[in-house]
Amino acid sequence: MKTKTELFLDLWLEARTRFTNQLQDLTTDDVRKKLLPSQNSVGFLIRHIGDVELLFAKNVFGDANVKVIAKTVSTKHDTGEWTNLEELKQYIDTSYESLKSIIEKQTEADWETNVSTKEFGTKTKAEAFGRIISHTTYHAGQIAIIKKYGTI
């Protein structure tokens, strides 16, 4: 029988494929695409997913080793700087490894402890974990639509 940590990790990894599968055929032109009137590009959304994963590793799961400057969260809009596909892929690889590593360290009891953030208030780690899953899949859907219908 799997532990809560193993089950939650399986759930997150499966849900995250909605995002990562799109990266396999992403082009350098795709990262600059936007769907007007939105100002956010595919590159911005990729960076944003990475920023939020790192914030979760640090602020929700308590990984003191994570250093993050979440530019997409602080600016709240695309500044046009997230256009280097390889750098974006490296960034989300880092965010993935950071979040995965700290999730794997959670005990059964950890999932029921409360965490508080200004973004969503006080929740158990399990409830907060639902936010990172839905956050990534939400933006993965946006990326898919922008890739298909967006323009540079």
CATH number at residue 68: 1.20.120.450
Q: Summarize pLDDT for 83-103 with one digit per residue, the tens.
A: 999 999 999 999 999 999 999
Alpha carbons 88 and 144: distance in angstroms, whole number: 17
Cα dist from 120 to 34, 50, 100, 131, whole Å:
28, 18, 21, 9
Domain coverage including residue 106: 4-149
Q: What is the mean pLDDT of residues 74-91?
A: 94
Model-level pTM? 0.94
Cα dist from 150 to 26, 108, 142, whole Å:
13, 43, 10
CB 129 within 8 A of CB 118: no
Sorting pLDDT into bands at 50, 70 and 90, what band is 63?
very high
Sorting pLDDT into bands at 50, 70 and 90, what band is 38?
confident
Percentage of residues in the chain having pLDDT higher than 70: 100
In this predicted structure, the answer to whether residue 138 has a pLDDT above a threshold of 90 is yes
Count: domains in the chain: 1
